[in-house]
């Protein structure tokens, strides 16, 4: 018998999870239902993936009528808690995209539901499964450099593409996404908690709009597609050109690889942007460990720097990718720091991803050395494939020596730091994380 799977929230990310069933695990799984407020998006899936899933706009009805084995949750984060709890009540297995939720209240509700229904959320933190990230955990667990005492983690988003995109889509509002400290940094806080092997206790944070948000550009409006400043604004994007034909749209991946009707041309300088582009966060762990974290969305490249100081040495790693998301050059008129406009496509050179990632291990009492890990260009460094395997394929392994499998409590602790940081920024005080 195949596992009867449904997906709720059929936007960008859902395509990955649906491909996980259709292209990688079709022998053991079947896509039986799709639910989205926009049913056309579900119909597109059936057409593109040649599936025959029942289409719903009412989640309760889908659960009730289809009685699925597994619910995959790829709705926006503000819906996750409700979707998880209802799926538990319907007796389903649940795989939930990051973040677990946006608020601490919701995190507590999900934890209570896990107890009430005797079930566990498969918390899908794909970054843990990237070979580089799990190798770092392995080095820490080996004891070679002792136990972590402090960590510096800085994350950079490319201002031309990925970084700006958060300010053009629904993520631009704190109430929808929790801002970058929840929607994006939840990955990073989860990694930090996992590597530290500890529970976050206090958070203190600062956040600013230095680059995006109201007043940060000469022009501002609602959406590029209807903006009177389109001709003169260097941030104009043609993502919603009105006379683009259906055929051309398909070609550019609007409907097939992308999502029909997706609003991603909001003004990054619009009045409703209330998320930060520059954030600094300080976390104290229960056993005294410290995390210094920063996230900046206005950097000319994408990447991160990590240093973990331990009782018997230090570990460092770094990634620098000068590559906006493939395909974005089609959508954006990219402006360089010199003010020069690159029209996308062939007009804009994109460098290649590095072949390997490196971990520098520096024990106090031995010679330092490097570990090289392959950079898998596909599916978030290969993390996605491993998750599909866990959720659709071989299932959870009998032993989990790295503690790589995440559950709601891990999701709750990563959301706690981000949500707590947002409160800290607003109220200018450290926040006790009760989780």
Ligand X SMILES: NC(=O)c1ccc[n+]([C@@H]2O[C@H](COP(=O)([O-])OP(=O)(O)OC[C@H]3O[C@@H](n4cnc5c(N)ncnc54)[C@H](O)[C@@H]3O)[C@@H](O)[C@H]2O)c1
Binding site for ligand X (CB under 6 A): 8-14, 35-38, 41, 59, 74-77, 79, 97-98, 126, 183, 259, 262, 380
SS3 343: coil
Between residues 74 and 329, which has the closer beta carbon with respect to ligand X? Answer: 74
CB of 390 to ligand X, least distance (A): 14
Nearer to ligand X (CB atom), residue 81 or residue 310: 81
Which of 97/302 has CB closer to ligand X? 97
| Beta-bridge mates of residue 223 | 266
- How far is the C-alpha of 30 from the C-alpha of 51, rounded, in Å? 9
The CA distance from 4 to 66, in Å, is 9
Residue 371 CB contacts under 8 Å (≥ 6 apart), including other chains? 135, 139, 358, 359, 361
Residue 216 burial (C-beta neighbours within 10 Å; 0-12, 13-18, 19+): middle
| Least distance in angstroms from the C-beta of 187 to ligand X | 7
Q: In this complex, which beta carbon is closest to ligand X, that of residue 128 or of residue 314? A: 128
285-to-75, 82, 200, 213, 413 alpha-carbon distances in Å: 31, 29, 4, 33, 11
Q: How far is the CB of 43 from ligand X (least distance, A)?
A: 12
Closest CB to ligand X among 79 and 408? Answer: 79
CB of 387 to ligand X, least distance (A): 8
Measured from the CB of residue 72, what is the shortest distance to ligand X in angstroms?
10
Position closest to ligand X via CB: 11
Q: What is the DSSP code string of 96-144?
A: EESPS-SSHHHHHHHHHHHHHHT--EEEE-GGGGSHHHHHHHHHHHHTT
When the beta carbons of 12 and 147 are compared against ligand X, the nearer one is 12
Closest distance of CB 257 from ligand X, Å: 12
Beta strand 121-124 with 93-97: parallel, antiparallel or unpaired?
parallel
């Amino acid at each position: 018998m195949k596992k009867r799977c449904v997906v709720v929230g059929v936007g960008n990310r859902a395509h990955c999870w649906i491909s996980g069933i259709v292209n990688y695990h079709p022998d053991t799984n079947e896509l039986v239902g799709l639910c989205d407020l926009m049913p056309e998006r579900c119909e597109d899936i059936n057409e593109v993936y040649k599936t025959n899933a029942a289409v719903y706009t009412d989640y309760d009805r889908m659960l009730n009528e289809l009685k699925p084995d597994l619910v995959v949750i790829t709705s926006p984060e503000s819906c996750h808690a409700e979707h998880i709890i209802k799926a538990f009540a319907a007796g389903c297995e649940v795989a939930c995209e990051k973040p677990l939720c946006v608020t601490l209240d919701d995190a507590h509700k999900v934890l209570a539901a896990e107890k009430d229904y005797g079930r566990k959320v498969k918390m899908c933190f794909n970054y843990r499964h990237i070979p580089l990230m799990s190798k770092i955990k392995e080095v820490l667990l080996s004891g070679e450099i002792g136990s972590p005492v402090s960590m510096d983690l800085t994350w950079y988003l490319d201002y031309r593409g990925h970084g700006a995109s958060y300010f053009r889509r629904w993520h631009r509002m704190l109430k929808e996404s929790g801002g970058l400290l929840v929607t994006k940094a939840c990955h990073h806080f989860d990694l930090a908690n996992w590597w530290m092997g500890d529970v976050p206790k206090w958070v203190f944070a600062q956040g600013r709009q230095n680059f995006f948000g109201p007043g940060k550009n000469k022009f501002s409006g609602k959406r590029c597609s209807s903006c009177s400043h389109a001709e003169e604004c260097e941030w104009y994007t043609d993502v919603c050109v009105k006379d683009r034909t259906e055929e051309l749209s398909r070609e550019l991946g609007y409907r097939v690889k992308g999502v029909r009707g997706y609003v991603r041309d909001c003004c990054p300088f619009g009045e409703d942007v209330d998320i930060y582009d520059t954030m600094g966060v300080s976390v104290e762990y229960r056993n005294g460990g410290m995390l210094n974290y920063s996230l900046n969305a206005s950097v000319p490249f994408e990447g991160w720097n990590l240093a973990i100081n331990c009782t018997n040495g230090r570990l460092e790693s770094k990634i620098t990718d000068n590559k906006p998301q493939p395909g974005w050059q089609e959508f954006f008129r990219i402006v360089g720091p010199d003010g020069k406009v690159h029209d996308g496509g062939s007009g804009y050179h994109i460098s290649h991803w590095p072949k390997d990632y490196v971990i520098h291990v520096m024990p106090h009492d031995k010679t330092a050395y490097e570990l090289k890990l392959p950079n898998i260009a596909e599916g978030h460094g290969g993390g996605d494939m491993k998750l599909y395997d866990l959720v659709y394929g071989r299932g959870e392994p009998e032993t989990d020596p790295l503690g790589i499998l995440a559950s709601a409590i891990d999701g709750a602790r990563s959301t706690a730091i981000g949500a707590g940081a947002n409160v800290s920024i607003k109220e200018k005080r450290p926040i006790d994380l009760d989780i």
